[in-house]
Homo-oligomer: A and B are copies of this chain.
């Protein structure tokens, strides 16, 4: 296992120390229990947005804490759900009296632990709404999940709901927006190579030189099929067809196209893929009005990519465009 780490058991804490040092203007890292929180939390009278999940998917979620996105993020161990007490402590830290939206990717452990935390917070009088993201079209059920997995759509949801909360939207409005994003977003991913979880020390799965995993999960869990490696045109067409035909996205739909790298994919390859996706969407008459290209929800050093499409309306577009200042996404400020 070749990694720039000191010890598998301290890698998350050490990375958070680096995050705190690099972005002291934006966030603080709390320990025992661990969560990352906006430097100016709690914000009285504002809805707070909290997310979290296993580490190893950076910048998701800790890299999205800041102005106009998340108020707090709860990182678990690598590929391991955060505990209820982490989430409960984060909710307490950010509650400004207007309620808290929990954004949960649909993995059994995450759903269970966030739900427990939500109940504990509710018992303390904090109004909590939980939104589960399940945008991955690859498989119906899978390792760690009943129902579809939550993947790239989570990034877009956190940006949009965070923007609404930032400008003072109330809890019902934030929840409705989150549900609208969930209803209109779909993703599909693939891997060329595996990743290696630090405390495991061996690759999570193996692929031969001429295979790829279509529909791979962000923990390396099996996808829809293992097929022969194809040129980029074929890869992107498979991902995009899967996404478009699922919702379905139809002619003259306005969309945000998110071309995501899994962590080990070079930027040059991501832009090759993005260009193909733009062309294929143009052929279908689907209008790409916003874009995001880069590694925003990753699986450690896995080589691979995913495509996410979000159906846009004027309100979602405007919230996407709103100022954001986090370690990983920044504009307008």
B263 touches A192 (CB 8 A): no
Known: A56-B268, A266-B301, A298-B266. A293 touches B18 (CB 8 A): yes
A interface residue numbers (CB < 8 A to B): 1-7, 11-12, 14-23, 55-56, 58-59, 63, 78, 192-193, 209, 212, 229, 231-233, 235, 259, 263-276, 278-279, 288, 291, 293, 295, 298, 300-301, 303, 305, 325, 327, 330-333
B residues within 8 A CB of A12?
268
Known: A14-B275, A266-B263, A278-B18. A233 touches B6 (CB 8 A): yes
Q: How far is the CB of A276 from chain B (nearest CB, A)?
A: 7
B residues within 8 A CB of A263?
264, 266-267
| Complex: A3 Cα to B267 Cα, angstroms | 11
B residues within 8 A CB of A275?
14-15, 17-21
B331 touches A4 (CB 8 A): no
- Tell me how many chains of this kind the complex includes: 2
Cβ 8 A contact of A2, one of B20, B229, B291, B295: B229
| Complex: A23 Cα to B291 Cα, angstroms | 8
Q: Kindly name the residue among A3, A266, A275 whose own CB sees the greatest number of chain B CB atoms within 10 A.
A: A266
B267 touches A298 (CB 8 A): yes
| Complex: A281 Cα to B259 Cα, angstroms | 37
Q: Kindly name the residue among A59, A275, A278, A305 whose own CB sees the greatest number of chain B CB atoms within 10 A.
A: A275
B22 touches A291 (CB 8 A): yes
Q: How far is the CB of A52 from chain B (nearest CB, A)?
A: 15
A271 touches B18 (CB 8 A): yes
Residue of B nearest to A210 (CB): B2
Known: A278-B18, A300-B268. A4 touches B295 (CB 8 A): no
Q: How far is the CB of A235 from chain B (nearest CB, A)?
A: 6
Given contacts A6-B231, A263-B267, 10 further A-B contacts (CB under 8 A): A2-B229, A4-B269, A7-B231, A11-B272, A12-B268, A14-B276, A15-B275, A21-B274, A59-B267, A265-B301
